Chains A and B, each alone.
Chain A
Amino acid sequence: MTDHTVDDKLGRLTLLTKLWPWLFLLALIVFFEAWAQIEVGRTFLFSSYNIQAILLAASAPLLLALGQTFVIITSGIDLSVGFVMGLAAVVVAQITLISGNTEIALFIGIVVTLLVCAISGWISGTLVARLGVPAFIGTLGMYGVARGAGFLSAGSGMTISIDNPLLEWLGTGWMPIIVTGLLLLVLHFVLSQTKFGQYTYAIGGNLQSAARAGIDVKRHLIKIYILSAAFAGIGGIVYTARYAAGAANAGESMLLDSIAAVVIGGASLFGGTGNVVGTLIGALIIAVIQFGLIFIDIDAFWQFIAVGVVIILSVLIDQYKDRLLRGA
């Protein structure tokens, strides 16, 4: 029965490597709460303002990270999401203004924006899936294209201001968080319960096996890059709603945050693993670090170091987890 106890110990260790993002997030919150109570005499967590601020800070990179999760599970990467988000932020403002800035105009603006993003994703996906371009290079190309197109669409001012009541409503208070939360639930369902999700994992696990099992791998990959670009587009629309202005560089800083969130959440860049809930935790960890360090008045540049360390840590834990499994 020694076999069983070894198995149990291994099971607990594996569980620990799976749960660590949750535990780490909890530890971060406890740390900031303690610091805030002791040093400043204020609460960190038990304030709806703080919670809202953290969730708002998490929601934009999270929208990019949700699509990115699917891409990374297939062992790809989408470097274009940041500037596709910026392009979307500008396009939704421009098209809504051109169409008369009414409610229907906003609807047209959103549809056109998502279409533009879908085309961008279709190009990325076609490059990767049908033309055999490595994802890193193909999406780097689209990074450049979206970046240029975003700034060109914005004109000389780089940002397009827009005053639209419906759009403002979408961007105020808890709305961006609610929108992100609903989309998160949808993608969690798709990834964990549907054939689309199952095939995403299968492709990441072994592309050739998936193809031999009769899965149309190329089409599936193209759909995934379209999904990723569409979520970047939604991120851009939410950005414009929040700030009443679209900026071509809206998502520039969020590309790496989106990849970091996915990786911290337990996905491997080699593909085959990862999930939506993990990505949510990853995005929350980053947002809590960023907001928390500002809250306790530590130089903002420390947040880059902190997030960087967490990324390295999560990859090391992921490798350790794999060794545990192999050794089993």
Chain B
Amino acid sequence: MTTPVLEARPILEARNVSIRFGGVEALKKVSLRVAPGEVLALAGDNGAGKSTLIKVISGVYHPHEGELFFEGQPLEMREPQDARTKGIETIYQDLALADNLDVGSNIFLGREPMHRRFGVNVIDRAHMRKVARQVLDRLDIVIPDKKLTGPVRTLSGGQRQAIAIGRAIYWDARVLIMDEPTAALGVPEQRKVMELIQGLKAEGVAVILISHNLHDIFGVADRIMVLRRGELAGERLVKETDGDEVVRLMVGDEYAATKSAAHV
């Protein structure tokens, strides 16, 4: 099995990570590297260990074996907050927005800017509004003023996705982990999100993309890691592989063999 060489120095690296839940080994000695400005796609069937792996590198799970490195330095994480302080931001499939709050409140959730008024510290809502507008402008997302200060549940799926991405980049994400970012979106909105990812890549952000959608993967990723039953089934540069090979890696050679035999 050939493993593509990574030219640039990785910003984030996981070496031989294993994790068990009860008797089940969810990850078996999986390694991962991603460089600044690179889009790494994680592919695999349901239960292959994709979500488990990103939860390890975002500090939610603690591996039983293996090590993490950030810019070459060992990375110890006790909680997700530790990952975020390093600039490792995760956008979950359900976006993790507070639907009842406005755009600015969501961008600053948990890190609200304060200013002093009448001798006491209060939330600086004007600043939050200003930054919300700036972030949306940077992503080229149009939201009318009225909706900017209303609950985000009134916005479209693509706009909400943009807010989640905007929150991550506002906090200087250097590694952005995205779990199925296009799963719940219509086609034009999917395209918009792909554009956003291209933009982040150009700015030197390392993106780890989980996706079921091979079209998305081949459209935006540089490298693909395929997981199967908690193990690394293969790693390919996008320009050196095709959909058939990736699917074969995802489902396993035996299955693919029986399937093609049946077709003959």
Q: Could you tell me which A residues sit within 8 Å of B by CB distance? A: 7, 11, 193-195, 198-199, 201-202, 204-206, 208-210, 212-215, 271-273, 325-326, 328
| A271 CA to B101 CA, complexed, in Å | 12
**Which of B43-51, B131-139, B145-153, B211-219 faces chain A?**
B145-153
B96 and A326 contact, CB distance less than 8 A: no
A213 and B109 contact, CB distance less than 8 A: yes
B116-136 residues with Cβ-Cβ distance < 8 A to A are: 117, 121-123
Whether B253 sits at the interface, judged by CB under 8 Å, is no
- Given contact pairs A325-B150, A325-B153, A209 touches B123 in the complex (Cβ within 8 A): no
A195 and B112 contact, CB distance less than 8 A: yes
Whether B100 sits at the interface, judged by CB under 8 Å, is yes
B101 and A201 contact, CB distance less than 8 A: yes
Nearest-neighbour CB distance to chain B for A90, whole angstroms, equals 36
List A contacts of B114 (CB < 8 A).
195
B80 and A205 contact, CB distance less than 8 A: no
A-B contact pairs, 16 of them (CB 8 A): A193-B117, A201-B98, A201-B101, A202-B105, A202-B109, A205-B151, A206-B98, A209-B96, A209-B98, A210-B110, A212-B90, A214-B80, A214-B84, A214-B111, A325-B151, A325-B153
Q: Could you tell me which B residues sit within 8 Å of A by CB distance? A: 80-81, 84, 90, 92, 94-101, 105, 109-112, 114, 117, 121-123, 144, 146-147, 150-151, 153-154
B99 and A7 contact, CB distance less than 8 A: no
B101 and A213 contact, CB distance less than 8 A: no
- Given contact pairs A194-B123, A214-B81, A325-B150, A206 touches B110 in the complex (Cβ within 8 A): no
List B contacts of A195 (CB < 8 A).
112, 114, 123
- Residue in contact with A202 in the complex, picked from B94, B98, B117, B153, CB distance below 8 Å: B98
- Residue in contact with A212 in the complex, picked from B96, B99, B100, B150, CB distance below 8 Å: B96
List A contacts of B117 (CB < 8 A).
193
- Given contact pairs A195-B112, A195-B123, A214-B84, A206 touches B97 in the complex (Cβ within 8 A): yes
Nearest-neighbour CB distance to chain A for B233, whole angstroms, equals 29
Nearest-neighbour CB distance to chain B for A276, whole angstroms, equals 15
